[in-house]
A and B are shown apart, each in its own frame.
Chain A
Amino acid sequence: MSASPGSDDGVEPWMVSDPGALTDAAADLVAMAEVVDEEDATVSAGIGDAASSLGWSGQPLVPGMQAAADTGSMLAALAGDLRGASEALTKLAGLIDVHGAELRRKRAERDGVPESDSANFHAFLMIEDVDPETRARLAMRIEDLRQDLLEADTVCSDTLSAATMSLDRVNRPGIQVGFLRSMAPEGSWRQFVAHDLVPDPAVEDRILIALHPYECPTADDARAALDELDAKHLDAFLHRNPRIAELLARDQSPPTHPAATPLLNASFTGSVFSGGKPTDVVAVAQAWDDLTADERARLRAYYPAYIGGLDGVPPEHRAGANQWLIGPALTDVEAQIGRLDADPHHDPDEMKELVGRAELYRSLTGPAETGRGGPTIDGGHVVLDADTPAVLLFDPTGDGRYAQWHGSFGATNVAIYTPGTGMTMGGNDAADDFMRDLASEPDTAGISWMGVDLPDDIPDAAKTQHSIDGGDALLRFTEGLNLRDRQVLTAIGYSAGGGIVGYADAIGAKFDRVITLAPSGSGLEIGGAPSEYPDLAWDRTDRSHVQRFTQTVSGDPIHIAHQSDDLKVILAILAPTSLIWSHDKGHGPDPNNQEQVVRLQPGRSCLDGEPSPCSGDSLGSYDPHKEVLWPESDGRNNIIGVVTHGDVLPHPSRRPNGTVEGRLYPLEQITPEGVILDDETFHNIIENVVEP
């Protein structure tokens, strides 16, 4: 009779496998346990040092003592579990190594084949070649070895199971409050409690039990439970318990907590009776100021989506609230990317947008690239760390609404930049880069602002309503920044963003300077705006000091947008069904011809960081509309000059007789009519030209 050897002896492939990978895993577990031991000791010493710095007179344990001491540390227990698992795996691997080898030999003897072929189930052999008695003896030995291995497998898996259950002490869902306490040297924790660095553990435990996942708590349940916690511990508690922080961050419902009542009342003061004026923003700012620091901390933590988007709440506090929204949004967008990735027919544009957003969100969870010099403290509460990105607006719905402050909150020069058509949350990195660069100038900060749904494409960009909605939102947002008297706000608008900035200026936004770049229009004469920029702000305060500038690269087709009749003809050709625009009036007249606006010369690209006036190629040879933002150029230097009260390059058409082409002029010497020269400057120029 013939048979395939080994097919009916119950020996499973793992019993005769190479245990190398198992041995490696066991060794890795020991190495992991050593890391845990080391960190248990160093963290214990670190906590002890911190407690000592606050006045604790005990001694942190040195690593050698730590190893010998039964401190009950959860990390020590974790290390023990890891070692236990390693030991079990090592034993099993050793048995597979020894018994597996013997099994292979016995099976080879039994089947009468060379050992090297014994695992080959396709070998054809005559089993009658081995005498029955020997075969029976070998079968018994094989069975013994198999039973040993099965038993070792059971012991090993039981040990792993017990170790897994032991780890659950560390992994109790949502209840981790004791973890660090267990690592602290005896007595040192009292120093943290005494300094209110950590709350009363009993209170924290009660909250965690009330908000256990099994209870399916709502955001209001969380707020009610957290009311028991001192406001000073809220942020730290939520950082330790991201599940609860996420519960609050995802709640979009209007605030119902008593501390929010003054804000809600304030937010209703202007919406109906103000005729569109942002009186509610002023009222919200006042109501926020009237709250206590504890109430402000509670509202930032309880209603991050509401507070983070509420105009009138100071920027530092908006940023403090918005930081809670980033993590859940990143989780969502990564899940969306995963789903899209699994669909072979997915829309590549949608994927590009999601990937862009994921990169943005990740950057917002890391340290800010421009330092702010220190944290923002409010009555003992850390509102915003020194290196946490300052997100002033974060709403991922639709194309997204977003704003970030780059640089110091106390900078004298503050610029706010509104980008143009097609900009979405996932593609706004260039705006952030622009403002980050600007914030590298001395005493200067930059805000990238995308506070409205910007036009999707060129036909969409023709709609007047974009400038009106955007201008209204920009006025409200900047009013809510509540800048100090000495701070100078420059509004920068590019393309469609130029029409938005222009309209905000036309309805009385409190800008100090304005510079529009290849703007879609002046914002005048649309949506009830006057034909000239008013000297009074929306609240009738004086703003006659506002300086306005514009620059457009020669050959930029944006000039079509300034001529609404021409635009309609073009749109009728490009998109004949889009008659909806027939009542649109564009975005106001060409700012280049506006008497209140100084026209600047975008000039040339700069070679190797040379200062303006630069000697590279004239801008406009590649893409005139985009080149007005070129980083190393006279145009960029003009923007910096306007924001920092430096020098700019006037357009030749605004250069009066006697002034020199291709020369920079200080901002204060430039008016819409042209350059005003004092006698000394005039003589210097003449001398330099005549006798260089």
Chain B
Amino acid sequence: MSSNFSGADPMATWDAAETLTAGAQALADAAGSIDVESATASIAGSQTATFFETFDDAARRALTDASHEMDVMGVELDDLAENIWAATNTNRSSP
């Protein structure tokens, strides 16, 4: 990564990293929040029951992927913050 961080604010970057990490967790929690089994059992035999299971799989995967992406971005921003901190506070350890 570039070491040209003049004027950059590591605390804001850390806050942004935390925002993404928290968002990732919220999406991961949401991914498993629907009781699909009960819903499809109640309408067993309908076309909707079959398609709802497929939809739920896709939605769950999309939320998990989104969560993963945000988590990785959070880690990257955290690393960036560490670098900014190291570049601007060479004699101090990160908080």
Checking A46, A74, A153, A242 against B66 with a beta-carbon cut-off of 8 angstroms, the contacting residue is A74
Considering residues B26, B46, B52, B80, which has the most beta carbons from chain A within 10 angstroms of its beta carbon?
B46
Given A14-B45, A17-B43: A167 in contact with B62 (beta carbons within 8 A): yes
Given A32-B33, A39-B23, A50-B12: A24 in contact with B39 (beta carbons within 8 A): yes
B34 touches A377 (CB 8 A): no
Chain A 60-77 near chain B by CB (<8 Å), digits 1 or 0: 000000000000001100
Chain B 16-34 near chain A by CB (<8 Å), digits 1 or 0: 1101100100110110011
B69 touches A53 (CB 8 A): no
Within 8 A of B (CB), among A374-404: 374-375, 377, 380, 382, 385-386
Q: Give the A interface residue count (CB, 8 A).
A: 72
Complex formed: what's the CA distance from A377 to B87 in Å?
12
A25 touches B30 (CB 8 A): no
B16 touches A17 (CB 8 A): no
Complex formed: what's the CA distance from A238 to B14 in Å?
22
B39 touches A171 (CB 8 A): no
Within 8 A of A (CB), among B23-72: 23, 26-27, 29-30, 33-36, 38-39, 41-52, 54-55, 58-59, 61-63, 65-66, 68-70, 72
A22 within 8 A of B: yes
A32 touches B52 (CB 8 A): no
Complex formed: what's the CA distance from A70 to B41 in Å?
37
B8 CB, min distance to chain A CBs, angstroms: 5
B43 touches A164 (CB 8 A): no
B72 touches A49 (CB 8 A): no
Complex formed: what's the CA distance from A49 to B23 in Å?
15
A153 touches B36 (CB 8 A): no
Q: Please give, as numbers and ranges, the residues of chain B lying within 8 Å of A22 by CB-CB distance.
A: 39, 42-43
Given A39-B26, A179-B66: A196 in contact with B43 (beta carbons within 8 A): no
Checking A25, A55, A170 against B36 with a beta-carbon cut-off of 8 angstroms, the contacting residue is A25
A35 within 8 A of B: yes
Complex formed: what's the CA distance from A21 to B41 in Å?
9
Complex formed: what's the CA distance from A25 to B12 in Å?
39
Closest to A84 in B: B55
Q: Please give, as numbers and ranges, the residues of chain B lying within 8 Å of A382 by CB-CB distance.
A: 79, 82-83
Checking A53, A92, A385 against B16 with a beta-carbon cut-off of 8 angstroms, the contacting residue is A53
When A and B form their complex, what is the total count of cross-chain residue pairs whose Cβ atoms lie within 8 Å? 206
A53 touches B9 (CB 8 A): yes
Complex formed: what's the CA distance from A78 to B55 in Å?
12
B42 touches A18 (CB 8 A): yes
Given A32-B33, A179-B66, A196-B1: A156 in contact with B48 (beta carbons within 8 A): yes
Checking B61, B65, B84 against A179 with a beta-carbon cut-off of 8 angstroms, the contacting residue is B65
A375 touches B34 (CB 8 A): no
B76 touches A197 (CB 8 A): yes
B85 CB, min distance to chain A CBs, angstroms: 9
Complex formed: what's the CA distance from A38 to B19 in Å?
12
A46 touches B43 (CB 8 A): no
Complex formed: what's the CA distance from A618 to B42 in Å?
67
Q: Please give, as numbers and ranges, the residues of chain B lying within 8 Å of A385 by CB-CB distance.
A: 75, 78-79
Closest to B70 in A: A43
B23 touches A50 (CB 8 A): no
Q: Please give, as numbers and ranges, the residues of chain A lying within 8 Å of B39 by CB-CB distance.
A: 21-22, 24-25, 89
B13 touches A50 (CB 8 A): yes
Q: Please give, as numbers and ranges, the residues of chain B lying within 8 Å of A38 by CB-CB distance.
A: 26
A32 CB, min distance to chain B CBs, angstroms: 5
Complex formed: what's the CA distance from A195 to B45 in Å?
55
A54 within 8 A of B: yes
B42 touches A17 (CB 8 A): yes
A21 touches B70 (CB 8 A): no
B44 touches A36 (CB 8 A): no
A75 touches B66 (CB 8 A): yes
A121 CB, min distance to chain B CBs, angstroms: 16
Closest to A28 in B: B34
Complex formed: what's the CA distance from A239 to B63 in Å?
17
A280 within 8 A of B: no
A53 touches B8 (CB 8 A): yes
A380 touches B1 (CB 8 A): yes
A677 within 8 A of B: no
Given A12-B46, A160-B51: A46 in contact with B20 (beta carbons within 8 A): yes
Given A24-B38, A171-B62: A153 in contact with B79 (beta carbons within 8 A): no
A35 touches B26 (CB 8 A): yes
Checking A12, A25, A31, A54 against B35 with a beta-carbon cut-off of 8 angstroms, the contacting residue is A25
Within 8 A of B (CB), among A31-57: 31-32, 35-36, 38-39, 42-43, 45-47, 49-50, 52-55
Q: Please give, as numbers and ranges, the residues of chain B lying within 8 Å of A228 by CB-CB distance.
A: none
A223 within 8 A of B: no
Q: Please give, as numbers and ranges, the residues of chain A lying within 8 Å of B23 by CB-CB distance.
A: 39, 42-43, 46
Q: Please give, as numbers and ranges, the residues of chain A lying within 8 Å of B79 by CB-CB distance.
A: 375, 382, 385
A201 within 8 A of B: no
Checking B3, B10, B15, B48 against A92 with a beta-carbon cut-off of 8 angstroms, the contacting residue is B48
Complex formed: what's the CA distance from A271 to B49 in Å?
64
Using a CB–CB cutoff of 8 Å, the interface residues on chain A facing chain B are: 12-14, 17-22, 24-25, 28-29, 31-32, 35-36, 38-39, 42-43, 45-47, 49-50, 52-55, 74-75, 78, 81-82, 85, 89, 92, 96, 153-154, 156-157, 160-161, 163-164, 167-168, 170-171, 176, 179-180, 194-198, 232, 236, 239-240, 242, 373-375, 377, 380, 382, 385-386
* Besides A47-B16, A85-B52, 19 other A-B contacts (C-beta < 8 A): A17-B43, A21-B42, A29-B34, A32-B30, A45-B19, A50-B80, A74-B66, A78-B66, A92-B48, A157-B48, A164-B55, A167-B62, A170-B62, A195-B1, A236-B75, A239-B75, A374-B93, A377-B82, A380-B2
Query: What are 27 contact pairs spanning A and B, CB under 8 A?
Result: A12-B45, A14-B45, A14-B49, A17-B43, A25-B35, A25-B39, A28-B33, A31-B30, A35-B26, A35-B27, A35-B30, A38-B26, A46-B19, A49-B12, A49-B19, A52-B12, A81-B59, A157-B46, A157-B51, A157-B52, A160-B55, A171-B65, A195-B5, A197-B76, A240-B72, A377-B83, A380-B1
Closest 8 CB pairs of A and B: A46-B19, A50-B16, A53-B12, A25-B39, A157-B47, A157-B51, A21-B38, A160-B51
